[in-house]
Structure 1
Amino acid sequence: MDLEQKVNQSFQQLNSDEIQCLNFIIEHKDIVSNSTLNEISKLCHVSASFLFRTIKKVGYSGFSELKYEIKKEENTLKGMTGQPENLNYQMQEDVDKTIKYFNTVHHTEMFRSIMEASRIFSYGTGWEQKMAAEKITRNFIYSGKFVTNFPALEELSVAEKALNEKDIVFLISLSGNNERIVNIAKDFKRRNIKMVSITQFGTNKLAGISTYNLYYYASEFHKPWHRSIVSLYILVELFSLHYKLFTEQLENGGLQNG
């Protein structure tokens, strides 16, 4: 299990400072693998003891084990030299298939529901999904829509009963089979609250419950649990731009409103 997977599994138990530290480590593995605990803590602007506790919180015995796992991952990737074309091709194929599938589906009804919603909310189940939810929040500002992003499942659970059928919720998950989010989605469906699921392509519980579905392709790479989710961010960007275009066409009389 690599660092990203450990963070995803522990995500709901992490606070914002811990997430910030782990995000730095994930984005700068080359630096971390050649630095000391004190050096990294200074770069993260936290104490060494805080960073040590954070590392243990996601399942490592300490900084040494974290460095060992990062170095092992680096060596695995180095052993794949001579195969970069395959990786590049697979990532490109994921993006191409995601865009192609998006363009085969009519999104007008979903766009109208978003446009008419009183409030819009978003939630991502893991690390990458949370970043995608935040991206939706930022993108929709340019369309005059304000999206409330729930950073933790507990916050979504607390707010759950306050939502009504005039609202719409984005639920972002890789597998679409996370039981806790599926149970919340079932409650939303019973109360006629519209949902947009964003999941990996394929049959899953969340997509089956949700009002609207968006899919992205995420191929496995050098480890069975290591997936590239670049197509997720492409999908969010594509979806946001198409929604903005839809609203602009309505304003300019290019579409029938009704």
Structure 2
Amino acid sequence: MANLRSMVYDSNTKLNDSEKQIIQYVLNNPNDCSKLSLAKLAKKLYVSESAIFRLCKKLGLSGYSELKFDLVELAESNQKPVKIENNFAKELSKVNVDVLKYFKQRDFNSLYRDLDNASTIYIYSTGWQQELIAQYLAHELFVVGKNATVLPSALDELKAASRFAKKGDVLFIISFTGDNNTINEEIMKLELINDKFKYVSFTNMMQNKLASLVQHNIYFPTIAFTDDADFKSGKVAFTPAYYLIDLLISEYVAWQQNQGEDVEINVGN
């Protein structure tokens, strides 16, 4: 049986204001309400019995009897200490293994070549979590001797960068989904009027519009901190994105060293 709070969460958009007030009351007072008949609960809340019955149907319940049963369970669960199962370490380990497999399957030589030729690497992000990733990427590029500039999350800054950029500079766009219409339209405009940039998308979604617009695309997964049985909290970790950046930078350094060895061999011959 689905958890009552989950059913309320999933049905929230179907409920009118009166129904939301009813369900809020019964959720806050499950023990008292589970002992009331339909008539008594209706009288207590100053609503009709049919209003409560319709609410039950919207929640996916067979009727008031099933609501009372769920309220009993909710009252009992409220008296027990809540323990949310946390498999974060296990899931993170698995996701990082997947990231490594993905990285090894990709050929980033053309990206490394573009990074090496760029006088400046610009990094544009579309949110505060993405901006943190941008700052980290800029730091790691600086460590290996590349000049990186993080742009504020504003279209005007993106347009300004396109004016000041030199041919061959690289522009990273860090977007969670890659389906931000405003950003994607701006990238299409820039590509039409400005052939300076080599574009790199860094997104969470494997299939997205942004990835189809750029020369290089990189994907990173995210992972939830906890298994929340009641609500989709949206609390996710971006650890795999940072791990992927470390892999990219490490491999880029190795690529640079190999390039240097190839030059020495050619000179020697």
Per-residue deviation, residues 47-72 of structure 1 (Å, max 9, x unmatched)? xxxxxxxxxxxxxxxxxxxxxxxxxx
> Kindly tell me: are residues 253 and 125 of structure 1, through their superposed partners in 2, closer, same or farther at Cα, counting changes over 3 Å?
same
Q: How does 1:7-156 map to 2 (within 5 A)?
A: 79-81=82-84, 83-84=85-86, 86-153=87-154, 154-156=156-158
User: How far has the Cα of 1:103 moved from its partner?
Assistant: 1.1
Q: Which residue of the other structure, out of 203, 210, 213, is the alignment partner of 1:209? A: 213
> Kindly tell me: are residues 194 and 79 of structure 1, through their superposed partners in 2, closer, same or farther at Cα, counting changes over 3 Å?
farther
Verify: 1:199 aligned to 2:203, yes or no: yes
1:29 match: none
2:168 match: 166
SS of the residue 1:202 aligns to: coil
Gaps of 5+ in 1: 1-77
SS of the residue 1:252 aligns to: helix
Verify: 1:176 aligned to 2:178, yes or no: yes
> Kindly tell me: are residues 255 and 102 of structure 1, through their superposed partners in 2, closer, same or farther at Cα, counting changes over 3 Å?
farther
SS of the residue 1:166 aligns to: coil
CA distance in 2: counterparts of 1:96 and 1:120, whole angstroms? 29
Work out which of the two has the higher radius of gyration on C-alpha atoms and give 1 or 2: 2
Per-residue deviation, residues 211-254 of structure 1 (Å, max 9, x unmatched)? 10111111455326332211111111111111112112212338
CA distance in 2: counterparts of 1:255 and 1:105, whole angstroms? 27
1:225 match: 234
Q: Residue type matched to 1:216 in 2? A: F
Per-residue deviation, residues 158-184 of structure 1 (Å, max 9, x unmatched)? 333333542110111111111222122
Q: Residue type matched to 1:128 in 2? A: Q
**Greater alpha carbon shift after TM alignment, 248-257 vs 196-205:** 248-257
CA distance in 2: counterparts of 1:157 and 1:79, whole angstroms? 50
CA distance in 2: counterparts of 1:225 and 1:160, whole angstroms? 34
TM-align CA RMSD: 2.5
TM-score normalised by length of structure 1: 0.62
* Contact 1:123/1:156 (8 A) holds in 2: yes
Q: Residue type matched to 1:200 in 2? A: N
> Kindly tell me: are residues 100 and 79 of structure 1, through their superposed partners in 2, closer, same or farther at Cα, counting changes over 3 Å?
farther
SS of the residue 1:177 aligns to: coil
* Contact 2:200/2:214 (8 A) holds in 1: yes
Q: How many residues align?
A: 179
* Contact 1:95/1:217 (8 A) holds in 2: no
TM-score normalised by length of structure 2: 0.60
CA distance in 1: counterparts of 2:254 and 2:137, whole angstroms? 15
User: How far has the Cα of 1:195 moved from its partner?
Assistant: 0.6
* Contact 1:102/1:215 (8 A) holds in 2: no
Quote the sequence identity (%): 25
CA distance in 1: counterparts of 2:92 and 2:139, whole angstroms? 25
**Greater alpha carbon shift after TM alignment, 172-181 vs 89-98:** 89-98
